[in-house]
Amino acid sequence: MKFRSQITKRVSVLLCVMALAAGAGSAAAAATDRTTQSAESKYAAQAKAAGLSSRQAAQLQDRVDAKLADIKVPAEQVGYNEIRAKDGSAIVTVSVPGVADTSCTYEWLCLWTGPNWTGSKVSFTKCQDYDLNDYSFNNDTLTSYKNNQTTGTVARFYNWEGRKVYKFGSTAYHTEDSLANTPWDNMIDIVDVC
């Protein structure tokens, strides 16, 4: 009888521990859900402040989510239409209908998918080679750029042709160009920022 009592107590303790663990897991999941909802509502508020309707904000968030899923480097959403590489070296800005973002921060190289600094944008600041496919600039989509780095800094643009092939360079300060109607439009795969 005493043996059964000890087994019953041990089973009861084990069940209590399992229930507590399940509760802790549920609490962690609930906290994660609240954090996600908080971020989503913050981005929805930013989109609304930019003049987007709820429907447009939801569609934009879907595009941001798709781009974030396509980016091959560790990255996170930091604004209603902005994704930043976790090391801070790159920012991807998803285009917003009716809102042109032609800006390029000083000491950055900025690239756009559309002519005349339109469409989605990716901006780089560290001196290294970047494969544009890693930042969801797939299928040779570069069409315009601004080299807003320090004076004399040269950015180099390459196409992948079984190997990295140099196509042209851009010397800062504030060199900009639209590649539309040039041989390099929708060709560049890799940039060496400086």
pLDDT in tens, 79-113: 999 999 999 999 999 999 878 889 999 999 999 99
Tell which residue, 174, 163, 71, has the closest CA to residue 120: 71
Is 161 within a domain?
yes
**11 phi-psi bin (left φ>0, alpha ψ -120 to 50, beta other):** alpha
Highest mean pLDDT among 25-29, 35-39, 116-120, 172-176: 116-120
Q: What CATH number does residue 123 fall under? A: 2.60.20.10
Structural domain tally of the chain? 1
**Containing domain of residue 58, as a range?**
50-192
In 3-state terms, the chain is what percent helix, strand and coil (to 5)?
35, 30, 35
The reply to whether 144 falls in a domain is: yes
- Cβ atoms of residues 165 and 159 within 8 Å: yes
Q: Is residue 42 part of a domain?
A: no
Separation of alpha carbons 139 and 174, rounded Å: 26
Please check whether residue 19 lies inside any domain of the structure.
no
Q: Tens digit of pLDDT for each residue in 122-168?
A: 999 999 999 999 999 876 889 999 999 999 999 999 999 999 999 99
Q: Does residue 67 belong to any structural domain of this protein?
A: yes
Residue 38 lies in a domain: no
15, 23, 33, 35 from 27: Cα distances, Å: 18, 6, 10, 12
Is 18 a member of any domain?
no
